[in-house]
């Protein structure tokens, strides 16, 4: 078990488009294992490789639905291939911006295609919290943070709050 350092807002790796994983190796699987440990230790429901300083298209999510069924996925090179026109609003936070939450509008349903850590093709049709978590983490792989999904005024207020919390 290795806990990785979670990168915080302002670090360049969070704003870069992550590189595709060319080959799934033991090193890839070790990174995924460390990401699970790090996410659970931080009490998160999702984590993307850039958040631990690795510019790779890898994410992990562990989400429970309202009916308590769990969705646990480690995805390599995930792509949102479909998203609904219907949207959903909910509060989001981020392990890379601790203490900051805001309401974000996202498509209510998405379909994501990826590879498992065993190299198997995976297709996930998601709604609810799983859809939101997958979109949030895929955004990280594209250098997008949830604060980029709110109005410019809200974003500047959130950034001011973030800076204040870091200074104080």
Annotated active-site positions, please?
137
For residues 153 and 161, is the Cβ–Cβ distance under 8 A? no
Determine the Cα–Cα distance for residues 141 and 162; give it in Å rounded to an integer.
Answer: 22
Determine the Cα–Cα distance for residues 25 and 31; give it in Å rounded to an integer.
Answer: 10
CA-closest candidate to residue 97, choices 32, 37, 11, 28: 11
Q: Are strands 70-83 and 109-115 parallel, antiparallel or unpaired?
A: antiparallel
DSSP state of 94: -
Q: Are strands 109-115 and 46-48 parallel, antiparallel or unpaired?
A: unpaired
């Amino acid at each position: 078990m290795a806990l990785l350092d979670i990168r915080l807002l302002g670090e360049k790796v969070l704003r870069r488009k992550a590189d595709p994983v060319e080959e799934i190796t033991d090193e890839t699987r070790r990174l995924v294992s460390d990401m699970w440990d790090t996410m659970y230790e931080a009490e998160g429901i999702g984590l993307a490789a850039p958040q631990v300083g690795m510019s790779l298209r890898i994410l992990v999510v562990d989400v429970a639905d309202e009916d308590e069924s769990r969705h646990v996925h480690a995805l390599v090179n995930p792509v949102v291939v479909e998203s609904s026109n219907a949207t959903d609003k909910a509060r989001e936070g981020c392990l890379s911006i601790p203490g900051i939450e805001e309401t974000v509008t996202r498509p209510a349903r998405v379909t994501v295609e990826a590879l498992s850590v065993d190299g198997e093709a995976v297709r996930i049709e998601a709604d609810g919290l799983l859809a939101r978590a997958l979109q949030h983490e895929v955004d990280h792989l594209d250098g997008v943070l949830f604060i980029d999904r709110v109005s410019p005024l809200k974003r500047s207020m959130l950034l001011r709050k973030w800076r204040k919390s870091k200074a104080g």
